[in-house]
Amino acid sequence: MELFCFASRNEKNIWLGVEHQMWAVATLLNIGSMAARATKAEKYLYPGALGLLYCNPKHAFTTPFIVRSKADQTRVVTDVWPEPWRLPFKIESLGDPSRMVSAEDAKKRWPVVKDRLSPKGGVSAAMNITGTTVFVPVTITPKDWAVICHDLASKESANP
């Protein structure tokens, strides 16, 4: 199983994504970096993949979801978030930001985080949340997903 983690600079943007059942990434000014994101999205992201959002200011995971479309390589979303976002894709959220697990608790509770942590990097590096690894999945087990959904999902359909 593959899990894609995406960070948000605030909780409001997560609520907006859940409300619209869509996620995307911020537009980068560096054309090369944006092109690299587009290439990774095209190569790795697929319908049926699993996703998880991360709220940067709260240092917490939230809102597991199932990816329901490929990333749209050309669309720029200007009517959901306050700023233009790119590479949008449809999601089926299995929870909402009212449930969060801090990065510290995830280190203790979630096997995938414990297994991927290294002394040189924190949770963001372990779960591919950083800008250079966005759209690069981490491999998880069904048990990992079950624990994540137990903590964060509010819907019964936590199976992809």
| Helix (H), strand (E), coil (C) string for the chain | CEEEEEEECCHHHHHHHHHHCEEEEECCCCHHHHHHHHHHHHHHCCCCCEEEEEECCCCEEEEEEEECCCCCCCCEECCCCCCCEEEEEEEEECCCCCCEEEHHHHHHHCHHHHHHCECCECHHHHCCCCHHHCCCCEECCHHHHHHHHHHHCCCCCCCC
Cα 155 to Cα 66, 79, 150: the distances in Å are 12, 27, 10
Domain locations in the chain as residue ranges: 2-152
Tens place of pLDDT for every residue, the chain, 160 residues?
999 999 999 999 999 999 999 999 988 888 888 899 999 999 999 999 999 999 999 999 999 999 999 999 999 999 999 999 999 999 999 999 999 999 999 999 999 998 888 766 788 888 988 778 899 999 999 999 999 999 999 875 555 5
pLDDT on residue 124: 85
**CATH superfamily, region 2-152:** ph1033 like domains (3.10.590.10)
The model's pTM is 0.92
